[in-house]
Each structure stands twice: as C-alpha cells, then as structure tokens.
C-alpha cells in the first residue's frame, strides 16, 4: 500500500501489525518419542502411524508428541489442553528444550531453538521464557522477597536492584506485607503467587505455566485465574498455559490447542472449539459447556430489516449470546449488533435460544471447523 505524507499510520497501529506477524514461538512438525532408538519413529511412516499401544509393544517407545505444528502469537494466551498423558507437559518443555525434541523445528522470535548452544539456551530459559510450575519450586528457608529475587540473583543482578524489583512484583501479585514470610507460612494460593512473582521478576517475553493452579482449591483457583487475566490485560505479556481443565482453558485462552495422544486435534479460539468441534472427540469434550457463555452473537446474527436497524438495544460483536439474551429480555425486542456505529445485524429470541439448544446454524454440532492457521 502506498502511503501519502498526509495519511500517516499511527505508531500504535504499526507496532501492532508488525508484532502480530512475528510469532513468539513457531513449532513445525515437532515429535518427542521416549524409548530406545526413538529417532527412527518420526522417520518411518509405518511406525509414525501406529496407535500408542502398538507402537509401544513393537518398539518399546512412547510418542508423547506427534507431528505438532503451531505458532504462539505475540501477546496471546495460548492454552495447551488435554487429558492426563496427552502430551501437554512434554510439548511445552520441548519449547525451551527442558526436554530434547526428537524431530521437528522450533523457533523463538525466528531463532532456531534446536541450534542453540548451552549458553544461549540458558539465556532463553532465564530471560525470555520463564516457567511457573504446579509445585511452586520455592526455597523453604528464604523469605518471599528472596524467593522472588532468586531468578534475578541467578542473572547476576545486584542485591539492591533485585530487592527493589522483587518488591514491585510482590506488590503486583497482591502479596504486599508478606515479603518477610517463609513459604511454610503461606497458603497454597499465596505460594502460587510467589511462584508467579518469581517468574515475572525476570521480565520474560513469555510466561510458560505448567498446570499452575491444579493443586489449589476451587475458590483460590478462581482468584488465581482472575489474577492471570488481570496481569495479561495490564501487561499484554505472551503466555502459554497448560491445563487439563476445559473451563480454565475457555476462560483464559485466546486460542486453545486441544491434544489427544500426542497430537493437536483442534487449534482454535474457545468459540471455534465449542461452536465447531473438529471431530467426535472434541464434540464429546465440549458437550457440557454452556454454549451461550462462550459463543458470541455473531453465531446467531441475521441481517436487520430497515426498521430493526434503527432501534433496539445494542450489543458489541464480541458480546456473548448470554449477554445478548439479557439485553433482549430487558428490551423485549431483538438486539442490534453494533460495530463502531454500524449495525452488522440483529439477534432475536429464536436465534439466541437456538444457540442454547445447540440447533442454531453455525452452532450445529456437525458444522465444519473454521480453518485456523496452525
Ligand atoms: N520421561 C519419560 N519417559 C517415558 N515416557 C514418558 C516420559 N515422560 C512422559 N512420558 C509419557 O509421555 C506421554 C505424555 O506425557 P505428558 O506428561 O507430556 O502428558 P500430560 O498431558 O502433561 O499429562 P499430565 O496432565 O498428567 O501431566 C505419557 O504417555 C507419558 O507416560
């Protein structure tokens, strides 16, 4: 596009469009096979195609990650979800080579991770991609502040500066006043906040969360989920989040990679996964999700007649069906889907109910999944 001097592109737009084209992580044809002579499995089409049990009995190998490709975009929360044993942890550990991949390519900001030497890898793990673990990994004899400052200490940051930075992130995760406690004097949720603060202290480009909240009780877990959403909203940091919990994935994820037996069976937004499951497995997985809380009004929208376009309550295009139901119920008329003053269409009670019932077009269970660039 040719730009005339009179129509400059605002700097914020330039930054966003450039950023959105550079993936933080780019994964292509990734395999991780555990067991003897594991390298031969991805190379041999016959072995590569075997179901898990048969592969194990024929070769003694387990293919934890099988031919997986995806990009993690800058600023998104990318969730890796699947049942226990589906390969989530192995996949995410391969990103920084905490587990060595068997085959495939991984790039971070365009740099080949598999070609990195030890120094570069250490730099990747310490500065660029910090991990938050389920079991906190806190040092029991150190205070909250010193635990948080630990990552900075490893980096060689001076004492005064690391204490100052640690103090700031401790406040950010809501632990002000607890700086001098030891981990044993904290609740599970507070310990997880320390783990989060420690990862944040090194100001990484991307945070990798390995089921960080699965040991927490439901109320504290919800608090922590909200904390992550808040931090993400405030900082826009890229996050990769492993969970086996579908509602957590739907709540946190901009996009979700759903894994089964080492493969990504669907990659898409929560709305795509719930509205257009790729196969019977995904359909079964999302069967009990309250669709109206995930699907947006776009699913139920139709063209407005001339009279409808002029009045009625307004909802945004990314409003959920549930929000539109409330607006329609209050007004007693269809709601208009408005985008910057323009009426895109309307949603009426029949269409909204159709989404809830799972009979609306586009929400149909057999619908084709929308194609995602993976
Ligand atoms: N070091 C290992 N040696 C052999 N097999 C392994 C090893 N680590 C993982 N596996 C196997 O690889 C598969 C994927 O394991 P992984 O831990 O990645 O799954 P997960 O989805 O993270 O499970 P969970 O939710 O239970 O943590 C499983 O079948 C597991 O038994």
Ligand 1 centroid to Cα of residue 87, in Å, is 6
For ligand 1, the distance from its centroid to the CA atom of residue 109, given in whole angstroms, is 27
> Tokens 């100001």 identify what position?
203
Ligand 1 centroid from CA 182, angstroms: 32
Greatest distance between any 2 Cα atoms in the chain = 70
Instruction: Give the residue from 338, 295, 290, 283 showing the smallest Cα distance to 314.
Output: 338
User: Ligand 1 centre and the CA of 44: distance in Å?
Assistant: 22
Using alpha carbons, select from 260, 259, 277 the residue that is nearest to residue 269: 277
Q: Ligand 1: which of 86, 134, 209 to mutate, judged by most atoms within 8 Å of the beta carbon? A: 86
Q: What is the 219 CA–ligand 1 centroid distance (Å)?
A: 28
Burial zone of 118 (CB within 10 Å; 0-12 exposed, 13-18 middle, 19+ buried): exposed
Query: If DSSP codes are grouped into helix, strand and coil, which group holds residue 341?
Result: coil
Q: Which residue's CA is the closest to the ligand 1 atom numbered 28?
A: 85
Taking residue 323's Cβ as centre, other Cβ atoms within 10 Å add up to 17
Q: pLDDT tens for residues 174-227? A: 888 999 999 999 988 888 889 888 888 888 999 999 888 887 788 888 888 888
Q: How far apart are CA 320 and CA 340, in angstroms?
A: 18
185, 127 Cβ separation under 8 angstroms: no
| Cα(156) to centroid(ligand 1), Å | 34
Tokens of 304: 């407005």
Segments in 174-295 forming alpha helices (H): 188-201, 218-235, 246-252, 270-275, 280-285, 291-294
- Residue 303 to residues 75, 310, 317, 339, Cα–Cα distance (Å): 33, 13, 13, 14
Distance 84 CA to ligand 1 centre (A): 8
Distance CA 252, CA 321 (A): 18
Look at residue 343 and give its three-state secondary structure: strand
Name the residue of 56, 89, 243, 249 whose CB sits within 8 Å of the most ligand 1 atoms, as the mutation to test its pocket: 89
Cα–Cα distance, 24 to 265 (Å, whole number): 22
Residue with the smallest CA separation from ligand 1 atom 4 is 34
pLDDT in tens, the chain (374 residues): 333 333 333 334 444 444 457 799 999 999 999 999 999 999 999 999 999 999 999 999 999 999 999 999 999 999 999 999 999 999 999 999 999 999 999 999 999 999 999 999 999 998 899 888 776 678 999 999 999 998 888 888 899 999 999 999 898 888 889 999 999 999 888 888 898 888 888 889 999 998 888 877 888 888 888 888 988 888 889 999 999 999 999 999 999 999 999 999 999 999 999 999 999 999 999 988 999 999 999 989 999 988 888 888 999 999 999 999 999 999 999 999 999 999 999 999 999 999 888 876 554 433 333 334 33
Q: Answer whether 88's CB lies under 8 Å from 81's CB.
A: yes
Cα 40 to Cα 35: distance, rounded to the nearest angstrom = 11
Question: Which of these, 133, 153, 124, lies nearest to 195 by C-alpha position?
Answer: 133
Residues within 6 Å of ligand 1 by CB: 34, 62, 64, 82, 84-90, 244
CA-nearest residue, atom 16 of ligand 1: 87
ipTM over 0.95: yes
- 64 C-alpha to center of ligand 1: Å? 6
Q: Which residues pair with 112 in a beta bridge?
A: 107
What pLDDT is attached to residue 203?
A: 86
DSSP H or E run through 307: helix 306-310
Q: Are 136 and 208 in contact (CB under 8 A)?
A: no
The minimum-distance atom of ligand 1 relative to the CA of 82 is: 21
Three-class SS state of 281: helix
| Main-chain phi, psi angles of 197, to 5 degrees | -65, -40
pTM of the model: 0.84
Number of the ligand 1 atom closest to the C-alpha atom of 90? 18
Closest ligand 1 atom to residue 99 Cα is 1
Q: Pick the residue whose CA is nearest to atom 13 on ligand 1.
A: 64
Q: Are 327 and 337 in contact (CB under 8 A)?
A: no
Distances in Å between the alpha carbon of 66 and those of 31, 90, 117, 223? 5, 11, 25, 34
> Structure tokens of 236?
């826009």
Residue 357: both structure tokens together: 């019932």
């Amino acid at each position: 596009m040719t730009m005339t001097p009179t129509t400059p592109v605002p700097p914020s737009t330039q930054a966003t469009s450039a950023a959105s084209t550079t993936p933080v992580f780019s994964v292509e044809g990734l395999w991780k096979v555990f067991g003897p002579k594991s390298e031969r499995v991805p190379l041999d089409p016959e072995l590569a195609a075997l179901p898990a049990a048969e592969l194990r009995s024929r070769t003694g190998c387990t293919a934890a990650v099988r031919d997986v490709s995806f990009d993690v975009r800058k600023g998104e929360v990318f969730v890796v979800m699947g049942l226990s044993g589906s390969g989530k942890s192995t996949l995410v550990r391969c990103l920084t080579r905490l587990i060595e991949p068997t085959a495939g390519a991984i790039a971070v900001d365009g740099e080949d991770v598999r070609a990195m030497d030890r120094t570069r890898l250490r730099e990747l793990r310490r500065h660029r991609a910090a991990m938050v673990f389920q079991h906190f990994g806190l040092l029991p004899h150190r205070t909250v502040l010193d635990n948080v400052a630990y990552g900075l200490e490893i980096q060689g940051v001076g004492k005064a500066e690391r204490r100052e930075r640690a103090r700031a992130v401790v406040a950010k995760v809501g632990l002000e006043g607890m700086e001098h406690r030891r981990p044993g004097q904290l609740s599970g949720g507070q310990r997880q906040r320390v783990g989060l603060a420690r990862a944040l202290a090194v100001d990484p480009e991307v945070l990798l969360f390995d089921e960080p909240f699965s040991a927490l009780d439901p109320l504290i877990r919800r608090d922590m989920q909200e904390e992550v959403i808040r931090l993400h909203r405030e900082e826009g940091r890229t996050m990769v989040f492993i969970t086996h919990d579908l509602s957590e994935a739907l709540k946190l994820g901009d996009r979700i990679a759903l894994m089964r037996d080492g493969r990504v069976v669907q990659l898409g937004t929560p709305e795509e996964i719930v509205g257009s499951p790729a196969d019977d497995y995904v359909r079964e997985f999302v069967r009990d999700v309250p669709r109206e809380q995930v699907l947006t009004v776009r699913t139920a929208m139709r063209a407005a007649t001339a009279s409808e376009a002029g009045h009625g309550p307004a909802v945004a295009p990314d409003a959920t069906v549930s929000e539109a139901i409330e607006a329609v119920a209050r007004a007693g008329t269809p709601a208009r889907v408005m985008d910057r003053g323009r009426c895109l269409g309307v949603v009426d009670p029949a269409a909204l109910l159709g989404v809830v019932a799972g009979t609306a077009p586009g929400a149909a269970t057999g619908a084709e999944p929308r194609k995602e660039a993976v």
